[in-house]
């Protein structure tokens, strides 16, 4: 999960148009909820093609929660961050129906992060503590929407900020403040972990990992495969740097150009359009710090060589 600036993509016209289908549908919903109801209003306009297209542009065809590239295997779920048809924690709540067509409340999600069902969770994640074998937990957001604040919004005029939602909305909260990506050499897996806050699990990280099932096996395996690919490329680059330390003059300059070009390509794996970019960035930050000293030494060698050539020319 990474932070995404929602303002980089304009709201879809089908939702923002004052006379569009979405506004007409919302007006029907307002009338519907003026009376006591026993089922949710059947919203449809949030599924419009331009909504799906804008969400895919915003998140580069990835799930907003787990960064899985859902387009390769299944159609996107247009997910309501604040659930439109009910709230798991409060069975009598009608849901945040007034936000059902609000662009700021919509996120692209894969099926497993969005739909509630049992998943086997991989050892190595924080849910396991000392367990060494898989176990099942109910995950997938569904209508879950836990809050830290004392007051939950019940009507359109209520203050949403007073809720202090526990689930991370990556267009509002920076996930890197609440989550970390740990590698476990013993099992060679990449597990999502919550950070610590005041000697306790970060409440936003903990709630999000559990609700979205960020350590379900297929997801962990996919993240791990990406990390292993990065590690293999990084090891080759380290070897090249080590061999370059024996070069001088033009050979050193050409070798450094190759190293810099390969490092740029490697760092590209951490850009927002890449799958599991949060994991990639964690690894790349550690790797660039590790090789920084060696690169600085090589650049110093190049500077010394260049200075010597200039003196010879004089």
The tens place of each residue's pLDDT in the chain, 314 residues long, gives 999 999 999 999 999 998 888 999 999 999 999 988 889 999 999 999 999 999 999 999 999 999 998 766 567 889 999 999 999 999 999 999 999 999 999 999 998 899 877 766 655 555 555 555 556 677 789 999 999 998 899 999 999 999 999 999 999 999 999 999 876 554 556 888 899 877 889 999 999 998 998 988 888 888 989 998 988 888 888 888 888 767 666 777 787 888 888 888 888 888 999 989 999 998 888 888 877 766 666 666 555 444 444 333 33
Same domain, 110 and 26: yes
Number of domains in the chain: 2
Handedness of CA 9, 14, 20, 22 (dihedral sign): negative
Distance CA 249, CA 258 (A): 15
Same domain, 61 and 157: yes
Same domain, 242 and 262: yes
Residues facing 201 on adjacent strands: 196
What is the DSSP annotation of 91-153? TT----GGGTT-GGGEEEE-HHHHS-EEEEEPBTBTTSTT--S-EEEEES-TT---BSSS---
Please give the pLDDT value at position 188.
54
Distance CA 257, CA 275 (A): 28
Please give the pLDDT value at position 308.
43
Which residues have C-beta within 8 Å of that of residue 271, sequence separation ≥ 6? 277
Domain that holds residue 195: 6-215
Single residue among 215, 244, 265 that ends a domain in this structure: 215
Distance CA 16, CA 102 (A): 9
Same domain, 95 and 131: yes
Single residue among 215, 247, 272 that ends a domain in this structure: 215
Please give the pLDDT value at position 311.
33
Residues facing 121 on adjacent strands: 135
Residue 1 domain-assigned (yes or no): no
Please give the pLDDT value at position 72.
60
Same domain, 18 and 114: yes
> Cβ(176)–Cβ(88) under 8 Å?
no
**Angle at Cα 123 formed by Cα 119 and Cα 128, nearest 5°?**
85
Please give the pLDDT value at position 6.
95
Same domain, 35 and 121: yes
Please give the pLDDT value at position 115.
85
Same domain, 35 and 183: yes
CA 5: distance to chain centroid?
12
Same domain, 49 and 141: yes
> Cβ(86)–Cβ(93) under 8 Å?
yes
Same domain, 66 and 165: yes
Please give the pLDDT value at position 220.
87
């Amino acid at each position: 999960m990474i932070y995404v600036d929602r303002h980089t993509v304009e709201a879809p016209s089908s939702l923002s148009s004052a006379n569009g289908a979405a506004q007409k549908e919302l007006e029907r919903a307002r009338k519907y909820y003026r009376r006591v109801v026993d089922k949710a209003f059947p919203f449809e306009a949030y599924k419009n093609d331009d909504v799906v297209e804008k969400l895919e542009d915003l998140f580069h065809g990835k799930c907003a929660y787990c960064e899985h590239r859902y387009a390769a295997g299944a159609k996107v779920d247009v997910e309501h961050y604040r659930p439109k048809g009910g709230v798991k924690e409060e069975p009598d709540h009608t849901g945040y129906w007034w936000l059902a067509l609000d662009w700021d409340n919509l996120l692209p999600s894969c099926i497993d992060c969005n739909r509630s069902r049992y998943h086997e969770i991989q050892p190595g994640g924080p849910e396991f503590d000392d367990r060494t074998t898989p176990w099942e937990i109910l995950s997938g957001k569904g209508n879950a929407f836990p809050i830290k604040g004392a007051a939950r919004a019940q009507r359109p005029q209520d203050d949403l900020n007073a809720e202090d939602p526990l689930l991370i909305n990556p267009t509002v909260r920076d996930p890197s403040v609440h989550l970390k990506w740990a590698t476990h050499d013993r099992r060679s897996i990449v597990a999502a972990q919550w950070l610590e806050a005041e000697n306790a699990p970060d409440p936003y990280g903990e709630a999000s990992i559990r609700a979205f099932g960020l350590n379900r096996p297929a997801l962990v395996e996919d993240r791990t495969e990406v990390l292993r690919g990065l590690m293999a490329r990084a090891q080759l680059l380290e070897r090249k740097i080590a061999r370059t330390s024996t070069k001088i003059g033009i050979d050193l300059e050409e070798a450094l150009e190759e190293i810099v070009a390969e490092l740029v390509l490697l760092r590209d794996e951490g850009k927002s359009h890449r799958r599991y970019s949060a994991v990639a960035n964690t690894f790349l930050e550690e790797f660039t710090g590790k090789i920084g000293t060696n690169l600085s030494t090589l650049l110093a060698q190049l500077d010394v060589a260049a200075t010597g050539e200039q003196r010879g020319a004089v």
